[in-house]
Amino acid sequence: MFELSVRDDFGAAHRIIGYPGKCNNLHGHNWVVEAVVCGSKLNELGMLIDFKKLKGALKEIIGELDHHYLNELEPFSTANPSAENIAAYLYHKLSQHENIKGKCHVKFVKVWETEKSAVSYCEEA
Ligand SMILES: Nc1nc2c(c(=O)[nH]1)N=C([C@H](O)[C@H](O)COP(=O)(O)OP(=O)(O)OP(=O)(O)O)CN2
Ligand SMILES: [Zn+2]
């Protein structure tokens, strides 16, 4: 089994509606996202998936969040854009991306909201 990981980041604003403290207020983060994929079948180049394709998929997905007010976006219209919900959203989007589907399994997506706090989301293979 091989495990590959890539990282990228995006900047956006959010608020945690109902939070009993300052995170209820509009504020921003530079979220750092790590995507870890795994699989055992290598292609003719000896790669599970080209890092370029993996990074491209992640960049495309986080590009839709970058410089937005997350609470106004459809995925977070009914669920607070907490680090947990952002990680789960990115996990599902990445798993469905054409660059990934059928080539490897997304093991987990990890989202750092600050340098000190991070959330990972995973599902069974
Ligand atoms: N489990 C979660 N807890 C919190 C989340 C979250 O998404 N999941 N989010 C927040 C807020 O968005 C907040 O902006 C982050 O708070 P915090 O980690 O406290 O960040 P600070 O920079 O303010 O940290 P200090 O150590 O207090 O400086 C809150 N919790
Ligand atoms: Zn926050």
Ligand 1 centroid – CA 2 distance (Å): 33
CATH number of 2-77+86-104: 3.30.479.10
pLDDT at 125: 65
Q: Which of 64, 67, 72, 123 is catalytic?
A: 67
Whether 23 is a known active-site residue: answer yes
Asked if residue 113 has its Cβ within 6 Å of ligand 1, the reply is: yes
The string of DSSP codes covering the chain is: -EEEEEEEEEEEEE--TT-SSGGGS-EEEEEEEEEEEEES---TTS-SS-HHHHHHHHHHHHHTTTTSBGGGSGGGSSS---HHHHHHHHHHHHHHSTTTTTT-EEEEEEEESSSS-EEEEE---
This prediction has a pTM of: 0.96
**pLDDT digit string (tens) for the chain, length 125 residues:** 999 999 999 999 999 999 999 999 999 999 999 999 999 999 999 999 999 999 999 999 999 999 999 999 999 999 999 999 999 999 999 999 999 999 999 999 999 999 999 999 999 76
Domain boundaries in the chain?
Answer: 2-77+86-104
